[in-house]
Structure 1
Amino acid sequence: MQLSAAPYEERLTAPRSWWLISLLAGVSLALIVLPLGTLPMLGGLAVGSAAAAVVVSAYGSARIRVVGGLLIAGEARIPVTALGEVEVLDAEEARAWRTHRADPRCFMLLRAYVPGAVRVEITDPEDPTPYAFLSTREPERLAEALRAAKTAA
């Protein structure tokens, strides 16, 4: 049995500059332990850089997928049948929906370094979540994949 490819899949990887920052975090820790000697300094560089790299990698591992009648966004798994209207947001609208227009009950997969987003209404009467806000680098493509999955369901 062959599995079909996902109509939409995106990983919200952290920007390259964040990897440089993780190296600088290691340098900072190395400078902090420098008075203790050369070996502690090298250990601080290695441990600080590795710890910061793990944090950057974990934060940038969030995925959004539309597959098998589900919208999978981070830890959330929402059937496409429970989704309503999909609104594509540009950078300015996305900023408004993640700040002053945000509903505290909404689900957010927010990455501030990704300017675009979609807002997907959740129509399930059992779910108190009014909508899902999803940061995405390709909002039009995600919206189209959601619409196609809803039509197919």
Structure 2
Amino acid sequence: MAEHTPGTFAERLYPSTSFFLAVLLLIPALTVLFTPYSLQAGIIAGVVAYALVCAIFILTSRKVEVQDGVFNAGGVKIDVKHLGEIEVLDSQQLRVAIGRRLDARAYLCVSGWVHSGVRVTITDPDDNTPYWVVTSRKPKHLAAAIREAQGASTNAA
């Protein structure tokens, strides 16, 4: 396992194990669908469909990271010096943040199978985005890494 460097964080927002178990139902469903033609074709179609769905969800899962003073959420990057208040969100707070309290200008990096995250205020005067909401399975670690990176960039300046 890699050594922790202050101000760094990396996480891939993969679906949960229960998602992959539920998708296993594609195999018997397609087997039943293809049975009038060929049982073997149904099993093959089910296994191929399962593999394709899993591959798509794994390959398109978003990456969240803090590295070298840059916060990257789903491929969108911002220097940590442009970040203000960081609020750790539990499942209920996240639901409210991306629901009735959502500002349409906010940037969302949200995966439906992750039920916690952070809300980070953007302080860059040239950026119209008021804040980011980013899901994470380790929101406290993410918030700490952003704060550490901010401290490191302040000390380097």
If the length of structure 1 is used for normalisation, what is the TM-score? 0.87
Equivalent residue runs for 1:26-105 within 5 Å? 26-59=27-60, 61-105=61-105
Rounded to whole Å, the distance in 2 between the matches of 1:38 and 1:26 is: 11
- Between 1:31-40 and 1:128-137, the stretch displaced more is 31-40
User: Unmatched 5+ residue regions in structure 2?
Assistant: none
Q: Is the 8 A contact 2:24 2:50 kept in 1?
A: yes
Number of aligned pairs? 149
- 1:137 maps to 137
Percent identity over paired residues: 33
Equivalent residue letter for 2:137: R
Q: How do 1:88-127 and structure 2 match up within 5 A?
A: 88-127=88-127
- Judge which range, 137-146 or 47-56, deviates more: 47-56
Does the residue aligned with 1:121 lie in a helix, a strand or coil? strand
Structure 1 residue runs of 4 or more that deviate by more than 3 Å after TM superposition = none
Q: CA deviation at 1:127?
A: 1.8
Of structures 1 and 2, the one scoring higher in RCO (CA 8 A, sep 6+) is 2
1-structure distance, mates of 2:91, 2:22: 24
User: Retained in 2: the 8 A contact 1:26–1:52?
Assistant: no
* RMSD of aligned alpha carbons: 1.8
CA–CA separation in structure 2 for the residues paired with 1:137 and 1:43: 35
* Unaligned ranges ≥5, structure 1: none
Per the TM alignment, residue 121 of structure 1 is displaced from its structure 2 partner at its CA by 0.7
SS at match of 1:100: coil
- Corresponding residue number in structure 2 for 1:151: 151
The Cα shift of 1:27 comes to 2.4
Letter in 1 for 2:52: A
Q: What SS does the corresponding residue of 1:9 show, helix, strand or coil?
A: strand
